Amino acid sequence: MGKTMGRLEYTTDQDEFFDYCLWEYKPVVPCLKKFRSLNLLYHSFDVMNVSERMFDVVADIRKGLGISRTVWGIKQAGEEIRWEFYFYDYRRRERERSITRLLSAMRPYVTCDITPNENYPYFMFSIDVNDDLVRGGGSLDEIHMYIGNPGSTVSSGICYSVTQERTRLENFYFFFDAATQREEIVGKIACSACVDTTRIPIDSILWPELRQCRVIVVANKQHNDCIYFSRINVDQLLFFLRRMNYRRELVSFIEDNRPMLDHLQYDVGFDYRMEDGGLKILKSGYYGIF
């Protein structure tokens, strides 16, 4: 496991557990001295042979914003692996985990010319991170900012792209209870200009193998739609990674360490649209915290 081996972290009786919305959950099996989900992120760094600075950035974010307060996403688009970090503070304008605070924590490694407006009532933001960025090969030129969507009949959020030059609408997200809102989920998937569900079976999007979860999110993006399955178990995660053809090293790490990862709940999702009469999956991702 290379660089990962010396960095493996284990749960204590003080650990808190959060999903990718930073909503807390209780593990359903004993969790003491098992893997933290951070180990999956570190292992992905190892697989992709990134520089030491990627590990250092994570360490400094934890120092600046707190442990288990940042969500990581490992994304796959074609053969490419990417990372995105997400930061939440539902106190909005009374927030402590702000864009300004993050940029300060990352300053030794990442330059950014964006001047955030902390008067906006955002509850979440995210950044794309890669090895070239933290090596100084470029600057952070975009931040994704999320605000609420009052008036929606379900929990909902709106994402904006924030750059130095402008703020631009990106995505809408709608949150459904997987157990009680099946009809609404199907209706939301079908109400789309990106996929024709008279030709594309719903099961090819709303996977039966992942429906046993806590929350299903359907998103409308500029060029496609997206679905997320929140709080799945480790076996469902493995099913997802295999079906999406993730790198063998990423999958085998979870397979080999399954007993150390079965206490965690996971979140996964994929972007899709219809092309040439069939469903095309554009990218996918899985999530944890550090």
What's the pLDDT at 153?
A: 82
What's the pLDDT at 282?
A: 97
Report yes or no on 202 lying in a domain.
Answer: yes
What's the pLDDT at 79?
A: 87
Please choose, from the candidates 240, 233, 229, 224, the residue with its C-alpha nearest in 3D space to the C-alpha of residue 185.
229
Report yes or no on 156 lying in a domain.
Answer: yes
DSSP-assigned letters across all residues of 221-244: -SS-EEEEEEEE-HHHHHHHHHHT
What's the pLDDT at 152?
A: 80
What's the pLDDT at 112?
A: 95
What's the pLDDT at 137?
A: 81
What's the pLDDT at 276?
A: 95
What's the pLDDT at 2?
A: 63
Report yes or no on 278 lying in a domain.
Answer: no
Low-confidence ranges of the chain (pLDDT < 70): 1-3, 5
Q: Which amino acid is at 182?
A: R
Report yes or no on 20 lying in a domain.
Answer: yes
Report yes or no on 209 lying in a domain.
Answer: yes
pTM score of the predicted model: 0.95
d(CA 144, CA 161): 5
DSSP-assigned letters across all residues of 30-87: --TT-B-THHHHHHHHHHTT--HHHHHHHHHHHHHH-TT-EEEEEEEETTEEEEEEEE
For residue range 154-210, what is the model confidence (pLDDT) as tens digits? Answer: 899 999 999 999 999 999 999 999 999 999 999 999 999 999 999 999 999 999 999
What's the pLDDT at 3?
A: 67
Domain around 220: 2-272+283-289
Mean predicted lDDT score pLDDT of the chain: 96
Task: Report the domain count for the chain.
Answer: 1
Report yes or no on 277 lying in a domain.
Answer: no
Report yes or no on 233 lying in a domain.
Answer: yes
For residue range 110-128, what is the model confidence (pLDDT) as tens digits? Answer: 999 999 999 999 999 999 9
